[in-house]
Amino acid sequence: METPLYTDAEEGYRNTPLVSPVPPPSVFTVPRPLARPRQGRHGPETHPYPAGGMSGRGSRDGPPGHSPYAGQKRDTVAAQGPPAEEVVGTARDVAVLKSDTANPVLLEQQVPRWAQTCILKTDGGGNHDQTVATLADRFADPDLIDMVTALETKLGRSTAPDQVAAGRWLENPAVGPNARARSVFNSSGGGSRALELAALDYLFHVSTYNAPIDATFYFIDLYPADAGTASDYLLWRKHSGRQRVYGWAASPPDYPALAPAKFYSRPIVKDGFHVFRDQQSALLPNDLETLASEVAARTSNHGAHLVLGNMLGPHLSTAPSDGSHVNEAVLNQLIIMFRTLRQGGQALFTVGHLATPLAVSVLYLLHQYFEETLLTRPVPPCDPWAAKRYLLCRGLRVYQPALFEFLEGAVAYMFQCMDEGGAEFDSDRLCLVDPVVMLADEPFTTWLETVNGKHIMAQLKSLQRISKHAAGEEPIVPALDPNLIANRCLQIWQVPLARPVDAGRPRGGSGGDHSSHNRPAPSASHSGSGGGGGRAGGGGGLLDNLLSGISRK
C-alpha cells in the first residue's frame, strides 16, 4: 500500500491556503513585448478612420493590422458573436471639416470683435442686432428643435417612467447599466464616461493619435461627473500597452467626487495622476494659472497630448451649481485647453445642438485653430434620444498666448454684461467671432447646417420610438438581445470585465486584491460547481456559448 505524500496530519499541509494570497500576473505586474510603431502621421490622402475600427489602429501608430493593445486577452474575453460592424458600426456618421487657413482668423483681428458684437444692444425701437440674431436660427431648424423639446417634456411627464427608461435602454444598451456593471470602470456607480471614451477610442484612436509610444502620454480630464472613470480608462489603456502616462483631473462641487482609490488603474495613480481641484470650493481665479504652470513644468513646456472637456454643464465655473454659468464654464475649458495643449494635440468635447451664437462661434474658433474638426454622433456610445454629441478637434496648429488673453477678456466681459444686464442678459447670444466672417465661410456654414439637421432628425426619430414604446403602441424590438449587445461591445472595445464577486467588494486602497479585476466574468455554470474554473484569459463557458449563438442580421 502506497503512503500518501501529504495528509492533514502535517501542519504545513493544513496551513496551506486553498486560495493563494499572491495575485496572478496582470497588466500591472508583467511586462509585455510590444512592437514599436511608426511615429509618422497621416498625409491628406489617407483617411485616418478605417472601417475596421480598432483593427486599423496601426494605420496611425504601427504596421497595418498591428494593434498596440494586442495580447490583452488576460483582461478581456475573446471576441465572439456578430461582426463588430453589426454591433458598434464603423466611423460612419462623422462630419469632418478640415482647415486650410494660413493664419487663424482671430489673429488677424486688430480689435476683439466680441467687444462690438457679443452683447445684444437695442435701438430705440427695441430691435436687436439682426446679424447676431440670425445665427440663432441659421444652423438648426427651430421647428425641429421645438418638436424635440416637446417630446422630451412629454416623456419627462410620462405616467409610465419605467417604460420610458426601458425604451431608452433598448435604444442604446451598449452603455446602459448592464454594460457599466460588467465593466471594471464602475467605481462609485459610474462608468459611462469610460465606456464612451473606449468606444470613441475604438473608432478614432483617441488615445494614440500623434502620441509616440516611447514618450509619456499626458492628458487633462475636465469631465465633471462619473467619478473620474474617463481618467481611469486612459491610465489603464496606456499603461496596459506599456506606455508611460500622466493625467490631471478636476473634482468640482455638486458632482460625484473623484475616487482614485477605487480606480481600476489604482496601482499607478500615485505616480501618474493628480486632482488639480478638490470639492471644497468653486473655481478660483488662480486655479487655471496653477494648472497651466503644473502642466508646463511636467511636460517641459510641450503641453498635454489630449484634453477632455464637457460643454454641457457649469462645473468649471465660479458657480458650479448655477445653470446660468454654463457658458462661463465653456470659456474656462477653452482657456485651459489652449493654454495646456501641445501643438499637434487633440481635444475631445461633449456638446449639444451647437445652434446658439456662442456655440457656433466657439466651433468656428476651434475650426480655425485645429487641422480638422469632427462632429460625430455614433451609436453606441451616444444615446440616440439625447442631444449630446462629440466634437473631436485634431492637430492644434499654433500655440498663441494672445488667444488666452482674448478668452480671458471674453469671460471678464461676460461678467460685466451679467452685472449690467441682470436677468435680461442672455450669454448664449455672445459671439466670439464677427458673425459676418463666419457667415461668409461657406464650407463651414454648409457643414454645420448639414450635420446639425442630420443629428437633430435622428434624435427626433429616437424620441418618437421611445414615446410609442412607453405608450404601448409600438414596442422597440432590438435586432439582437440587449444584454448580449452590451457584452459584445465590451469585447470589441477591449474593456476588461469585472467578476460577479467584485460587485460587493470595495476596490479602495492600492494594496488591494488586484487579481479580482484581471479575469473575465466567470460563467454561471462555474458557480457552485466545485470543479471547472474558467480560463483566466479565455472567456469560455456560458458567455461564449451565448455570444456564439447570436444570429447575424
What lies within 8 Å, CB to CB, of 476 at 6+ separation is 167, 170, 171, 465, 466, 469
CA 504 to CA 389: how far, in whole Å?
34
In a domain, 403, yes or no: yes
Inside any domain, residue 306:
yes
**CA 133 to chain CA mean position, Å:** 32
pLDDT at 119: 42
Mean pLDDT, consecutive 10-residue stretches, the chain (553 aa), reads 72 71 53 43 40 38 36 43 64 64 49 43 43 73 92 89 90 77 70 87 90 90 79 92 90 73 85 76 73 93 94 73 76 92 95 88 90 86 88 89 84 81 73 83 90 91 93 86 83 80 41 34 33 34 34 35
Please report whether residue 374 resides in a domain: yes
Distances (CA, A) of 287 to 277, 278, 304, 332: 8, 11, 17, 10
H-run or E-run covering 235: helix 229-240
Which pLDDT score, from 0 to 100, does residue 500 have?
54
CATH number at residue 416: 3.40.50.12760
- The confidence score (pLDDT) of residue 420 equals 77
pLDDT the model gives residue 308: 95
363-396 burial, b at 16+ Cβ within 10 Å, e below that, comes to bbbbbbbbbbbbbbbbbbbbbbbbbbbbbbbbbb
Does some domain include residue 318? yes
The span from the CA of 193 to the CA of 381, in Å, is 9
Q: Per the domain annotation, does 493 fall within a domain?
A: no
* Residue in the block written with cell 469671460: 411
What is the model's pLDDT at position 75? 43
What predicted TM-score, i.e. pTM, was given to this entire model? 0.73
Q: Please tell me the predicted confidence (pLDDT) of residue 135.
A: 72
Query: If DSSP states are collapsed to H, E and C, what string results for 503-526?
Result: HHCCCCCCCCCHHHHCCCCCCCCC
Quick one: pLDDT at residue 221?
92
Total domain count, the chain: 1
Which residue from 174, 65, 91, 100 is spatially nearest to 392, judged by alpha carbons?
Answer: 91
In a domain, 25, yes or no: no
Q: Cell numbers of 221, please? A: 480630464
Q: Which domain holds residue 371?
A: 94-470
Let me know if residue 504 belongs to a domain: no
**Residue 549 within any structural domain of the chain:** no
Q: How far apart are CA 135 and CA 417, in angstroms?
A: 20
Q: What's residue 188's pLDDT? A: 52
